[in-house]
Amino acid sequence: MTTKRMLVTAALPYANGHIHLGHLVEYIQTDIFVRFQKLRGRRCIYICADDTHGTAIMIRARQEGRPETELIADMQAAHQRDFAGFDIAFDHYGSTNAPENYELCKEIWAKLRHQGLIREADVEQLFDPVAGTFLADRFVKGTCPVCKSPGEYGDNCSKCGATYSPSDLIDPVSTLSGATPEKRSAQHLFVQLEMLHPFLDTWTQSGNHLQDEVANYLKGHFLGKPLRDWDVSRPEPYFGFAIPDSPGNYWYVWFDAPVGYIASTHQWCKLHSERLDDWWRNPETEIHHFIGKDIAYFHTLFWPGVLHASGFSLPTFVHIHGFLTVDREKMSKSKGTQVSAAKYLEHLDPSYLRYYYASKLGPRLDDIDLNLAEFAAKIDSDLVGKVVNLASRTARFVESLGLAQEYPHDGGLFAAGAAAGSKIAEAYEQVDYARAMRLIMELADAANAYVENTAPWTLKKDPNQQVRLQEVCSVVLNLFRQLCVYLAPVLPRLADGCGRLLQSEIRSWQDSQTPLVGTSVSKFEHLMQRVDPGKVQQMIEESKDQTPVTVPNATVPASVAVAETTPAPDEPLQLEPLAPTCTIDDFAKVDLRVARVIKAEEVPEAKKLVKLTVSLGGDVTRTVFAGIKAAYTLQQLEGRLVVIVANLQPRQMKFGLSEGMVTAAGPGGTEVFLLGVDSGAKPGQRVH
RNA sequence: GGCGAUGUAGCUCAGUCGGUUAGAGCAACGGCUUCAUAAGCCGUGUGUCGGUGGUUCGAGUCCACUCAUCGCUACCA
């Protein structure tokens, strides 16, 4: 049973950064899905837009000294250029900062109000008096209130994992201005998601709208208890839409972003004389969202809740994919593996990446790995060596003859390939592109074996075999064309090239079911080049440290900015910027003492902690818990001198009272480096 | 810390409802071929299916525990 219409979206890229290879997993995956549906004759549109609102955009525009609208316009142009370069063919690409979006937000908001889903409450939040804005978690840094690790963000601690609110941080600092934030209270508006709980239970757990593991995740983690209210407003200043019935408040970017799916569709409708209701309020329309697993919560709970409450259609399916790693590691700017779309296109053919991703993408949430060696090998072997080679080794023989008038006997090869079409289509339909590619390559193998067995190069030499030569080449070129049809959703350029070669455009999946006869054959030209490993290398090299992380704005004391060269983004100074200037008196408040570790004990239940008993000389001892379990053995610790913060307020921890802090450098985990003192120092001596 | 996953050949991955001797591609090795972009064809696999224990006539598959790896973590569980 197929519906009349199909609406497909990919997540809206945020206007604060450029598209990179990680983003492209999603846009390519979605594009393949849409192209497949269209090839199959479905009425299908691919809708996307730039996500433009929020504090980050406001701050960045301020730093760049220009209006937000200018910033987001530039970024949108860049995004659309990148997508076009990868043959990602949106039917419409809009922006969340559009009048259509504002109107829809108002409409949805009114419905939520009307149903009593909105409540108001005061929220105490940190406010940056210099930048004049409230501070989101990520814009506050300070010392973790639990483990006392410095330089942690306002939401949770990367060292001990504790979660807290920004106002719990010790000595919080605004990363925008370096100022000390103050607490301010402001009215916020909340969606009472719990009221939609019964609906969400049903929608997520039945009807097959989600991958199983996603449904399980939601059930196990969110749906087993009351759903939290969702804070959907932000006080001014904010770059976004003002909430009509709540002066001084704006919709949080995450409120209006998904509405952008509808708004962008609306824009498309206006351009094509279509009715929005046919696409968003009609059971004859399927809606498919493609997203990454990081934003699963919004698309599987909040968004369906909002759609339900405001009378729009619910997604037929939310397809969630994993992340991209490069050579098994998280993309890294310093290693050059965070490659921008634009940089890739300077060096390599977009078809390579489309095919490589297709060959790795399955229907599940697994992360996919871009293995650079495999990347080249796969393209060379599958596409150049197997598929394109079919044309390459036969087309020249029939340039003057064209294809046979009648499709010759081929031992059932074409028919078998045609029959495989339904399995391939099924794999595409299930977003199991990896399986589809495997099935297609099996056909390519069979076709190459046919070339081997019929040996057209031998036939060519025998004047009596010219008819047979034409027959054999007609078979091979038809098998090649069949493969191109199956690959067309992934490789539109190859399909076009095939159309030019055989002088018959590939328009439909059905083209795979009937052989082509009697057409002439164009002069053969290479349809795809082998991967030049040098270019891959060059792309990686040029991606290293391309964009230094934006340094906090100009209100940072000048002394901070004296470094001659900007440190690489992964370098320590960049990861943890210098704290604001403190006075000698400030420093004197911290009493650092030399201490000797007299006992180091295992804390079996603790993952990171070691219990240390340290001597400050004489019989003064302190018990200190230190998060260095992964970096030091007990033997290494016992007897050595360390530097401790001796006047730190004692902290009750899970395993006992910690009466100080051992000083160390490094990011944590196994990379912790205790401070030592040169020999001669005595326990109890103060560090000045 | 919480949660979600993953672990099968050198690499990337299939493996349905538990059912013979666990598969494919790539890589490697041997042979053939020379039309083709150093492409193609044929052949070659002694894998503690991460580990331990359990259920079963039978476990890669189900259960428990465990180790390792990865990811997510909202104004936050």
- Write down the ipTM of this complex: 0.83
**Helix runs in A132-247, H state only:** 197-205, 212-221
| pTM given for the model | 0.79
| Nucleic strand B under 7 Å from the C-beta of A423 | no
Q: From the CA of A220, how many Å to the C1' of B72?
A: 14
- How far apart are the C-alpha atoms of A490 and A492, rounded to whole Å? 6
- Answer yes or no: is A528 CB < 7 A from strand B: yes
> In the 288-327 stretch of chain A, whose C-beta falls under 7 Å of nucleic acid strand B?
293-294, 296-297, 322-323, 325
A432: nearest nucleotide, CA–C1' criterion? B14
Phi-psi region of A108 (alpha: psi -120 to 50; beta: other; left: phi over 0): alpha
* CB of A519 within 7 Å of some strand B atom: no
Contact call for residues A616 and A569 (beta carbons, < 8 A): no
B12 C1' – A328 CA distance, angstroms? 12
What gap in Å lies between CA A125 and CA A231, rounded to an integer? 13
Positive or negative torsion for Cα A581, A584, A590, A592: positive
Which residue's CA lies closest to nucleotide B11 at its C1' atom? A374
Inter-axis angle of helices A55-64 and A68-85, nearest 10: 100
- H or E element, residue A621: strand A621-626
Length A378 CA → B26 C1' (Å): 7
Q: What is the pLDDT of residue A237?
A: 85
Query: Of the candidates A459, A555, A491, A478, which has an alpha carbon nearest to the alpha carbon of residue A519?
Result: A478
Q: Residue A452: which residues within 8 A CB-CB, separation 6 or more?
A: none
Whether A597 contacts A612, CB under 8 Å = yes
The gap between A358 CA and B11 C1' (Å) is 18
Q: How far apart are CA A435 and CA A439, in angstroms?
A: 6
Q: How far apart are CA A411 and CA A432, in angstroms?
A: 30
A438 is near strand B: CB distance < 7 Å: yes
CA A362 to C1' B60, in angstroms, rounded, equals 20
A384 touches strand B (CB under 7 A): yes
Question: Strand, helix or coil at A55?
Answer: helix
Q: Would you say the C-beta of A377 is within 7 Å of strand B?
A: yes
Nucleotide nearest to A297 (CA to C1'): B74
Fill in the amino acid letter for A535. K
Determine the distance between A521 (CA) and B27 (C1') in angstroms.
Answer: 37
A530: CB within 7 A of chain B nucleic strand = yes
- The rounded distance, in Å, linking the Cα atoms of A496 and A488 is 9
CA distance linking residue A39 with residue A429, whole number of Å:
12
User: Could you give the strand order of the β-sheet that contains A285-292, starting from the edge strand earlier in sequence?
Assistant: A92-95, A44-50, A5-10, A285-292, A317-321
Mind listing the domains of chain A with CATH numbers?
5-106+250-329 (3.40.50.620), 119-196+217-243 (2.170.220.10), 348-512 (1.10.730.10), 584-674 (2.40.50.140)
Residues 600-639 of A with CB under 7 A from strand B: 607-608
**Alpha carbon distance A12, A97 (integer Å):** 12
Smallest CA–C1' separation from A452, nucleotide:
B41
Cβ of A165 near strand B (under 7 Å)? The reply is: yes
Chain B nucleotides close to protein (CB under 7 A) are 1, 3-6, 11-14, 24-27, 33-37, 39-42, 70-77
Q: Is the CB of A413 within 7 Å of strand B?
A: no
Buried b (16+ CB within 10 A) or exposed e, A155-172: ebbebbeeebbbbebeeb
Query: How far is A661 from A626, CA to CA, in rounded Å?
Result: 7
In the prediction, which pLDDT does A439 show? 86
Instruction: Considering only CA atoms, name the residue closest to the C1' of nucleotide B14.
Output: A435
Q: Find which nucleotide's C1' atom is closest to A167's CA.
A: B75
By the 8 A CB rule, do A392 and A373 touch?
no
Q: Which residues contact A69 (CB under 8 A, 6 or more apart)?
A: A97
Give the number of other CB atoms < 10 A from CB of residue A110. 13
- Which chain A residues 451-470 have CB under 7 A to strand B? 451-452, 455-457, 460
SS3 readout for A379-446? HHHHHHHHHHHHHHCCHHHHCCCCCCCCCCCCCCHHHHHHHHHHHHHHHHHCCCHHHHHHHHHHHHHH
Residues 186-225 of A with CB under 7 A from strand B: 188, 213, 216-217, 220-222
Distance A364 CA to B53 C1' (A): 31
List of A residues 250-269 with CB within 7 A of strand B: 252
- Retrieve residue A290's tokens: 């493609």
CA distance A135 to A267: 34
User: Residue A548 — left, alpha, or beta (φ > 0 → left; ψ -120 to 50 → alpha)?
Assistant: beta
Q: What is the H or E stretch that residue A160 is in?
A: none
Quote the CA–CA distance of A235 and A252 in Å, as a whole number: 9
**What tokens were used for A456?**
């057209």
Q: What is the mean pLDDT of each run of 10 residues along chain A (688 residues)?
A: 87 90 91 95 96 88 91 95 96 96 96 93 83 76 67 58 62 79 86 89 84 77 80 89 93 92 97 97 94 84 92 92 77 77 92 91 80 84 91 91 92 90 88 87 88 90 90 94 94 95 95 94 91 87 59 26 29 49 69 84 65 81 77 76 78 66 68 75 82
For residue A427, the model assigns a pLDDT of 87
Identify the sign of the CA torsion A206, A209, A211, A213.
Answer: negative
**For residue A556, what pLDDT is reported?**
26
The Cβ-side half-sphere exposure at A238, using a 13 Å CA radius, reads: 22
A371 Cβ nearer than 7 Å to chain B strand = yes
Please state, in angstroms and rounded to a whole number, the distance separating the CA atoms of residues A642 and A674: 7
Whether the beta carbon of A330 falls within 7 A of nucleic chain B: the reply is yes
Separation of A216 CA and B19 C1' (Å) = 30
C-alpha span between A308 and A280 (Å, rounded): 12
